[in-house]
Structures are given as C-alpha cells and as structure tokens.
Structure 1
C-alpha cells in the first residue's frame, strides 16, 4: 500500500468547489482519482451553504464565500478548506484551528498579474490617459503633451517589499524606473532597488507610490490624513493591496487639491458582494483616477496557477497528511512510508497529550516506524506511521484521549 491510497474511498470523498474555481483544480482532483466533485458558479451563504457542506470533506472557495465559525462548526465532516486566492480573511481561522480543519491558500500565484497591473496603471496615469480617454469618448481631441511624461527615469516608491512589491521592483527597473522601497522589516533589495528609512522620506522623494502591504490592524488607514499630507509634489498613488489601507475621503481631498496628480485603486473599503450590487466610491468621476473592480489577480494565467497550487496542497494533505502552507493546522512536511498505516491525530495543545499518545501506543506493543509532531498555540498535530496489523486498535485508543479534536487512519 502506498500513500496514494487513502482509507476513505476516493469516490465517496465529497469535494465542493464554489465561485467558479479554475478548471486546473478540477482536473487535478480528477487526475488524483476523486470523482464526487460538486461545482457551483457563485458564492453560497446561509442554509444553502450549510446544506452543501453537510457531507463535504473538502471545500474550495475564492474571496466571497464566508466560512464563519457557525458554518465550520456545522460542517462536521470537513477536513480541509482551500482558499483559491491570496488571502484567508473569508475564513474564521480560529474556528478552523479548533475544529482541526486545515486551511490552505495561494499567496504567490497571482504575483505577476498584480505587478503587471501596477506598471500598466503607472504608465496610464503619468501620461494622463484616463482624462484623454474620457475626452475622446466625449468627442474632444486633446492632443497635448502638457503634464504627460515618460515613465523612464522616474522614482518609484514601493511600500511593502514582499512578494508582489519585489516583483513590481523587477518590472519597474526593467523599463527604466529608479526603485526605492520602505518596509517595516529588513528586506534585501533586488537589482538596484534602494531601501528608504521611513515612509515619509519615501513619499516626499518619489514620483510614484505603490502600496503592497498586508491587511492588519497596523495597516488599516495607514494612509490617513497625516500621511496623505506628505504628498505635495503631484505624485501618483497606486493601491493594489487592501481596501482599508487608505482613508478614501482624505484621498479624495488630496486629489481635488492636486497634491496627488493621479491615483489607481483596485481595492476598496467596501466592495460589492456580487455583480448585481452597485459599486459606489467617493473617487468616482475624479480626474485622472483609475478604479478597477479588484482584478489585480484576475487573469486566466493567475487563476490557472492558483488552481494548481491550492489543489496540490489539498491533495497532499488528504493523501499524505502534509500540511505545509496551512494557516490553521501546524505545518508538517512528511516523507512517504511504504508498507505502513499512517494515523493523523489533531488535539488541543495542552500538556500531557503527547505523553498519553505514547503511553497508549506502548501498551498495545505497536511497532512505531515514524512519528512526527508540530504545534501552534491552539492545537497539536501528530502523525504516526505504524505496522499495519495494529492500526485499528491504535486509532481507537487515540480517539479516546481526552483532548482529541480529530483522529483518523490516513492510509
């Protein structure tokens, strides 16, 4: 028996895909032998979501489906959640952690798509294309070079030099921009990029500012009235990170006062939950402003790569127990073990559990061929590779341990 065979029949393992998950993920599940796949084009909520997840082992979502504590607690058979996007804000990670449900996402698969949109937006704004486009649609011929510039030689300031910020850095330098960056953590520069010691210094010294920070309490309204007050030189501002990073009302005033000459936003504090819901923003109809509907990572290439990435993580967890990249269960990278049974044990992270596991296994005279442990603040994750003859008795004993959350024979 090998790790490609699970104790739970693959044809009975229900996998639910919501929000038009890429065909690459569906292909991956089918190629791995899973046949009970349910697809839904949109997000689900309420009783319909709970009904669909009642017997599901795996659920795959994008950003609109909200997996709250109530939803997770009612999905008793759920083993894993796949977020086919960058973030995991739509999942109650604490509830998933306590329920022993593994949560994966794709933090890097759409990096290139976002970076390309940043560069494209910067070029459009520095050439005043939004205004000229609007005029042309209105029948006006504004063939004028006033305040339209080449991007070559300009100074780009990147706020947050992570995976996307550094990718923007590479593309920007390739087309002739001088790149500077500010990050709260020390980051090694790529190419000729230069680190700046403060956000204020970055803003005051650069022509274009592009924001690439995570959504945290520290970054909420990072660009508030004070920070926006540092813009005095008609810079360009681009935000492709999180919608609540900028104080939108103060950004509007800064644009109207011409202290910022143009802005491109792909994310907003409040976004429609569906195409049927109307989008409104204080920035609508302002001069030289590009507003896009959270499409930074919405390219066919990015969605295809996300589908491959997250489905691979889910399949590895289902079939091997490997949890690298998990946001809930402690991470474990596991080797393949032939001619064994593998048992997964997820438990509350309290003292004495590992000792009790070893005690119960010892009393059964079980031959342990491999044991792996990882913990976080809430839960512990133990994987045991044991001889085949002892697996059912061992599983029964492990399930009887007081602080057990989930225990199952993987194969």
Structure 2
C-alpha cells in the first residue's frame, strides 16, 4: 500500500496547505498518540521544534491532538532533532516529535516521529499511524485528558550529553571557531557546547526571527561562512542546517569540507582507538569513490545504501556498524546518538584538530575526490527509465566506466526528475557519459 502522508523523513510540506495544516497536525497527534498508548502507565510524548514561524501553530495543534487521546506532553522549545531523540529516551517517553523541515525554507515544515528507543519509526509503525489518521479518533474520557508542560532545562541536558561524546580531557583552548547555526534549532546549544569546552567562538545564524531559517546561512548556503572564517582568521568553520542533524565544515582557507572527508577522518580516529565497529563505514550511493578507495587502503570497508540517512541507519543497525553518514553532511555516531547529530560530529572534528596540531586544510583533506558530476533531467510524464534506448545507453556507460568509475541513476522521490550521477578518474569521460544519458532520458520522456 502506498504512503499518503509519510515520506522518507516524516511528514513534510508547505505550511497551511496539503498535509501541513494545523488540523492535520492535530490528527497526526491523535493517531500517533493512540498508536503508542500501550499499557496502563501515564503515557508521555516529548515535542521539540526548530525556529520556523509555523512552529507555534504546529506545536499547539500537536499538543491538542496528543492530550485529547490521553497522552501527557512535554514541550522543549527550539532544540536540534537529535536532542529530541535523546530526551525521548532519557525521559522514558513513549514517543518523540520534532517539528522541522530541516534545510528547507521557512515556508515549509515537517513532523518527524521517534519511538521510545529514540530511533525513527519503522515502516510498520508509520503505516499503522497513517491508517489511524484517516479514521475518526477515539478520544479520552474527560478525566483522562493529558496534561502539557514546558521544561526549562532541556538545552542544558542536551549540551551535557553532547560534551559527553568526547573524552573528559578534551579541551579546545586556543581554537577559534566560527559556528553557523542557520538561524535554526541549534542557535543556542551548539555555540554554548563548543564555548564550554574552551574554544573562542564566533557565531553566525543565531538570530532567528521565524522567517530567516536557512536563509543565506547554514550547511546549504556556506558562502557567508567561508568569507567569515577568512576574515576572522579562524581555525575552522562549522555549519549546521535548520534542525542541526547535518554538518559541513570550512577550513581556515575558506574551503568547504563535505561529509565524505569528515567520515574519513572520524573513521580513522575511531579505528586507531579500536572503537570502529563493523569493520568500516556505511554511506549512500552518492559518496565519492575516493572515500571508498581511501577506506580500503586503511583496511576498512564502505557499505552503500540508497540516499537518505534513514537507510544508512537501518544498515548500520543491521550490520553492527557505529559510524555512517552522507556526503551532504549527515553524520551518525551510533555510540552517542540515534540519529544524525551535527554538533557531536563537529566536536569530533575539533578534538582531532586539537590533538594533531595541523591546520584544518591539511587534517580534513585525507583523500582526493575523483571527478563527480550530477545532473537532473526533468520530464513531463511516463517512465523514461523503462525505455529500451535509455536502458541501452546506461548499459553502455556502465561498461565504459567498469573498473574506472561509477554510475548512479535514480528517480527523485518528490518530483518528476531523473538524477544522473557519474564519477571516475577521467573527468572528460564522466562529463560525456552524463551528457549522453541525460540526452537519452530527454528523448525518451
């Protein structure tokens, strides 16, 4: 059965339209609450949000939904997604909710759900909740309606947990760090955690006004951070996204460092301490071939999944891995968090910078990425990937790149677009392969 509400990462959309209205949020609260009311204890849900204007509306609607089916609500205010996953476990809650559309503009919002173990819900749980959304809710008796309260120490709890992800001896004294919080959920906690460990912190994107989240700042718009790092003479720049589960780094020269390089560094450090589980790293099909070759040279493996941190996490749990992530900056350190956590990953990078005494430009470039090109082909309808001409073109390209590169062709899950990615040692060959496939898709569309 197809999904009507849940996508690859919860429910997301433009606020006050479609699935992202106050009435829908209330129905989600009622459905999810009813699904997780199990046993005879007082049931509890933790709700956090980022800094979007619509967060107030969505929070209030979710509170109404959960309390109406008898579930108590704990509200944290703006906090990163991984903080809500953490607090759900720590507070023995039955469910956690993060109101955020991650790196999307402020007009969008989303609802992410976590189970009592702090992990994102299984497909079965999401499908069961979807079925309940379409049904009339069973409301609690008047004397069993839930209560709601806001806790004031949530930020401190998360900061403490983040600092526990590095050794007690770790200090960042003498390190100048520019921290860009995207005017999002981590605007208070990320700079505080890094400052408390001794760094000289310069902040950016820490003045949210409800409409400026991810607007020219954060991990998806690092131009301002690159400039600021150089101007400040900083040792490194840290960029998070709107809900702070993603990290991109800028070295002291203003050069961007993506998730592949960060995974390489963290994997090497963990392997040196015999802390890396599973024999390697889990990443997606989009991670650069250079990362795979680098890990192999160090005796480690790279296992690939479909795009999406959810798929990475599923493979990590199934295979006993404790490190995984995406080129786009999702870093999952499973020993410390149940989802991607940009701040925890940043602390690992800063700790390595202090330990090695090398400039970031040297420390964070462990391998040379092979040339990689991604193009999107928009189509009006049909199934262009099923056309024999496209299949033959792809087969010819795979044969041409065999042993020298990789080809990834995938349809977008949210729009009529075919994504064509190729990488290999010969840049001209990569460009030619991508262009041929794009033309074949256009002709078949």
Please indicate the TM-score interval, normalised by the length of the shorter structure. under 0.3
Q: TM-score, normalised by structure 2?
A: 0.23
Tell me which of the two structures has the higher relative contact order, counting C-alpha pairs closer than 8 angstroms and 6 or more residues apart.
1
Answer 1 or 2: which has greater helix percent. 2
Which has the higher Rg, Structure 1 or Structure 2? Answer: 1
TM superposition score normalised by structure 1? 0.24
